[in-house]
């Protein structure tokens, strides 16, 4: 199974450039988040992203951004915690002077059969997928103005369910309701709020598996899609680019599935 990649600057839609716009992406060093960071930076935005732990993914992203025009920065922050969120938004204020786009990409999921699901595991999943988006969005509001865009990263699991994922599904479903309500509340200020719900996406997590296991999983997950393949991270990122751009000026309160029709 060939991974779909569309990562070059030439692939960006002509009407979705972000020249000079200021973007915050949470959890931007791996997977979909990394693709969003690089896609928006290559579209002309100034991008600030955060990570929880240092490592090779952080170092390689820093190098890629260093070779991309614009003012880009990586900040260590755990957006499940109020104090880290305050520091992160203070850095956005000091470094960028404001924000035009917020992408709440951070997520957390560890499968667990429902009868065995502990309160601590429930709380950690809700904090990682829902509370983090609330904390970042609320703290960022003073930096946003008319024309700004908030993009939450959800999951198609909210439509189809998942055995062993009741906690994750509940948190992502709540994120959709959160988005819809914020779209109504912030709309009068000219701030748009949307959700992107990816399906099965081919990320580095697959590459971390033994090759034979990864091949079986890619084939299995591809069979669920009408297109017969997994999605690429850049394909999700290009939807985020659209939602961040003036091209999506009348799009708000929407849950956009990027799942190949599962």
CATH architecture of 16-257: 3-Layer(aba) Sandwich (3.40)
Provide the CA 62 distance to its chain's centre, in angstroms.
Answer: 18
Is 41 within 8 Å of 245 (Cβ atoms)?
Answer: no
Q: Mean pLDDT for each consecutive 10-residue tract of the chain (262 residues)?
A: 41 68 97 98 98 97 97 98 98 98 95 97 97 98 98 96 96 98 98 97 85 88 91 97 97 98 90
Q: How far apart are CA 2 and CA 230, in angstroms?
A: 9
One of 51, 114, 168, 250 is an active-site residue; which one?
A: 168
Give me the residue spans of the domains in the chain.
16-257
Best CA proximity match to 139, nearest among 90, 177, 183, 106? 90
Cβ atoms within 10 Å of 106's Cβ, excluding its own: 24
- Residues 162, 80, 192: CA angle, nearest 5 degrees: 80
pLDDT of residue 17: 85
What global pTM score does this model have?
0.92
Query: How far is residue 165 from each of residues 79, 143, 162, 172, measured CA to CA in Å?
Result: 22, 35, 5, 11
Is 114 among the residues known to form the active site? no
Phi first, then psi: give them for residue 53, nearest 5 degrees.
-130, 140
Nearest CA to 232 among 198, 207, 255, 256? 198
List Cα–Cα distances, 31 to 26, 87, 140, 204, 236, in angstroms. Answer: 12, 24, 24, 6, 10
CA distance 107 to 128: 5
Buried b (16+ CB within 10 A) or exposed e, 203-240: beebeeeeeeebeebbeebbeebeeebbbbbbbbbbbb
| Predicted pLDDT at 254 | 98
User: Which pLDDT value is given to residue 16?
Assistant: 56
- What Cα–Cα distance (Å) separates residue 107 from each residue in 30, 103, 187, 254? 12, 12, 25, 19
């Amino acid at each position: 199974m060939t991974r779909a990649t569309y990562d070059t600057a030439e692939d960006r839609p002509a009407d979705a450039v972000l020249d000079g716009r200021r973007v915050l992406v949470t959890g931007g060093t791996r997977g979909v988040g990394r693709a969003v960071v690089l896609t928006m930076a290559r579209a002309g935005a100034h991008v600030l992203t955060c990570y929880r732990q240092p490592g090779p993914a952080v170092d390689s992203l820093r190098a890629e951004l260093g070779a991309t025009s614009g003012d880009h920065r990586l900040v260590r922050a755990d957006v499940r915690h109020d104090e880290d969120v305050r520091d992160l938004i203070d850095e956005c204020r000091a470094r960028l002077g404001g924000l035009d786009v917020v992408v709440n990409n951070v997520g957390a999921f560890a499968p667990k059969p429902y009868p065995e699901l502990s309160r601590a595991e429930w709380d950690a999943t809700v904090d990682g997928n829902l509370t983090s988006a609330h904390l970042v969005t609320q703290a960022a509001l003073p930096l946003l103005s008319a024309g700004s865009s908030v993009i939450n990263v959800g999951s198609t699991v909210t439509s189809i369910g998942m055995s062993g994922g009741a906690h994750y599904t509940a948190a992502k479903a709540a994120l959709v309701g959160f988005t819809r309500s914020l779209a109504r509340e912030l709309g009068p200020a000219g701030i748009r709020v949307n959700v992107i719900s990816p399906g099965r996406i081919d990320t580095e997590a697959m590459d971390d598996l033994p090759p034979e296991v990864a091949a079986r999983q890619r084939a299995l997950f591809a069979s669920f899609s009408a297109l017969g393949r997994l999605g690429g991270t850049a394909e999700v990122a290009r939807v985020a680019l659209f939602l961040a751009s003036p091209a999506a000026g009348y799009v708000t309160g929407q849950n956009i599935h990027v799942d190949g029709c599962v």
